[in-house]
Amino acid sequence: MNDRLRFGVFMAPFHAAGVNPTLALQRDLQLVEHLDALGYDEAWFGEHHSAGSEIIASPEIFIAAAAERTRRIKLGTGVVSLSYHNPLWVAERIVMLDHLTHGRVMLGVGPGALPTDAQMIGIDQADTRRLLEESLDVIMRLLTTEEPVTFRNERWDLREARLHLRPYSNPLFDVAVAAVASPSGPRLAGRYGCGLLSIGATMAAGYDALALHWGVMEECAARAGTTVDRSKWRLVGLVHAAETTEQAYKDVEYGIEQWFHYFQSVAAFPQMAVPGRTVREMIDLVNETGLGAVGTPDMVTGQIERLWKQSNGGFGAYLMLAHEWANPVATKLSYDLIAQHVMPRFQGQAHSTLQAAERAGAVRTELAEKQSQAVDAMRQKYDAERAASR
């Protein structure tokens, strides 16, 4: 890998229903601070309104809070459910955040993942992807031109709409479209030359999704006369690292069952449904199907290398799906270990010190002997000087 792979998190978040939501949100903010201190590149935050687990209702509000606690890490909406919102206000809010963060914001968009969200505001699932397309078209025109936008459908009525502020970022901040199983996301990303958030790309059937996602993007970009950039392709995957495989297995006993149960029995999101009845079955599923890696940093490295090869050309960022499989202490240690031992291998930092150590080791015996001889010579010279002064 010649390019520097970026690392980050994709935080829905996933908290067990019934836990203290105030403390859970504070834990999320503290994790972002921790990642910023460790040198992670990106953090993305979801939008959900039901089902009891993913409790960030506004990624924009969360980003505003996280931005005040961090210095360098970029912060993205992962994602704004465009079918729920007036596109003019989505564009206004993200541009405001662009100014407040001095260019650290990213806009991720999608149709809305939880049917229980859309149901409460009267949106049929059959309409969410069409509304995503119509909204993104309006948003991209608002962000990239200063021409007024007039648009009307059954949900929105825009009349000579313009942005109140122009974006702070120049060129425009990253805009990315989410993709799980359908070609909807890569199709739009290709049309507008945006980035892609491949959320389901490491699922058991996700290896096929990698080829599908990029192939659809290139095909649609060619038709639209745009270009797509692999550095703006982000893969989202599941990992937990510990110093030993045994410790990693023990760590995830804390919460992996809750996460699996959420997708098996609560969230009406079949694309993310995963089988498994016992903790060990769940761990084996993660490690044996390509879903992710529970184990040592070397296992995490191997997972990313497999995805890199399978992508047939590479991608720009690996985002870990934030979860609470382990308790907060073990979770932070996992991110520490990945920053220490995995990130350097994909960012051009590991090989130089390894090669320097190898070069030094190859000449150690010879140079150590010369060093000893030099010390002995100086000792003899000093002894001679003392003897002459008596």
pLDDT tens-digit map of 258-276: 999 999 999 977 767 788 9
Evaluate if residue 1 carries a pLDDT over 60. no
Q: Compare 136 and 214 and report the one with higher pLDDT.
A: 136
Quick one: pLDDT at residue 170?
95
CATH at residue 82: 3.20.20.30
Residue 20 sits in the same domain as residue 159: yes
The pTM for the full model equals 0.94
Question: How do beta strands 175-179 and 6-11 pair?
Answer: unpaired
| Arithmetic mean of pLDDT, 112-120 | 95
Residue 53 sits in the same domain as residue 155: yes
Residue 313 sits in the same domain as residue 379: no
Quick one: pLDDT at residue 204?
47
Residue 280 sits in the same domain as residue 336: yes
Quick one: pLDDT at residue 180?
84
Q: Is residue 155 part of a domain?
A: yes
Q: Which residues pair with 43 in a beta bridge?
A: 9, 75
Q: Which of 318, 333, 348 is the last residue of a domain?
A: 348
φ, ψ (nearest 5 deg) of residue 197: -105, 100
Question: How do beta strands 157-161 and 149-152 pair?
Answer: antiparallel
H helix and E strand count, the chain: 15, 11
pLDDT tens-digit map of 26-85: 999 999 999 999 999 999 999 999 999 999 999 999 999 999 999 999 999 999 999 999
Residue 305 sits in the same domain as residue 367: no
Number of separate domains in the chain? 2
Evaluate if residue 202 carries a pLDDT over 90. no
Q: Is residue 1 part of a domain?
A: no
Distances (CA, A) of 274 to 209, 267, 289: 16, 12, 11
Quick one: pLDDT at residue 203?
61
Residue 316 sits in the same domain as residue 343: yes
Evaluate if residue 107 carries a pLDDT over 70. yes
Residue 369 sits in the same domain as residue 337: no
Domain that holds residue 288: 6-348
Compute CA 17 distance to the chain's CA centroid, rounded to the nearest angstrom.
24
| Arithmetic mean of pLDDT, 117-135 | 96
**Among the ranges given (59-68, 97-106, 198-207, 312-321), the one the predictor scored with the smallest mean pLDDT:** 198-207
Residue 46 sits in the same domain as residue 109: yes
- The pLDDT-based confidence of 211 (bands split at 50, 70, 90) is confident
Q: Is residue 271 part of a domain?
A: yes
- The pLDDT-based confidence of 290 (bands split at 50, 70, 90) is confident
Helix (H) or strand (E) holding 37: helix 21-38
Measured distance CA(113)–CA(136) in Å, rounded: 16
Quote the percentage of the chain above a pLDDT of 70: 97
Quote the percentage of the chain above a pLDDT of 90: 88
Evaluate if residue 213 carries a pLDDT over 90. no
Residue 229 sits in the same domain as residue 311: yes
- The pLDDT-based confidence of 324 (bands split at 50, 70, 90) is very high
Measured distance CA(167)–CA(93) in Å, rounded: 11
Query: Alpha-carbon dihedral of residues 214, 289, 324, 5, nearest 10 degrees?
Result: -40
Residue 343 sits in the same domain as residue 370: no
Q: Is residue 255 part of a domain?
A: yes
Helix, strand, coil abundance in the chain, percent, nearest 5: 55, 15, 30
Residue 96 sits in the same domain as residue 150: yes
Residue 125 sits in the same domain as residue 16: yes
Evaluate if residue 184 carries a pLDDT over 90. no
Question: How do beta strands 233-241 and 195-198 pair?
Answer: parallel
- The pLDDT-based confidence of 208 (bands split at 50, 70, 90) is low
Quick one: pLDDT at residue 60?
98
Q: Is residue 179 part of a domain?
A: yes
Q: Is residue 38 part of a domain?
A: yes
Quick one: pLDDT at residue 310?
87
Evaluate if residue 308 carries a pLDDT over 70. yes
Quick one: pLDDT at residue 2?
53
pLDDT tens-digit map of 347-384: 999 999 999 999 999 999 999 999 999 999 999 999 99
Question: How do beta strands 42-45 and 6-11 pair?
Answer: parallel
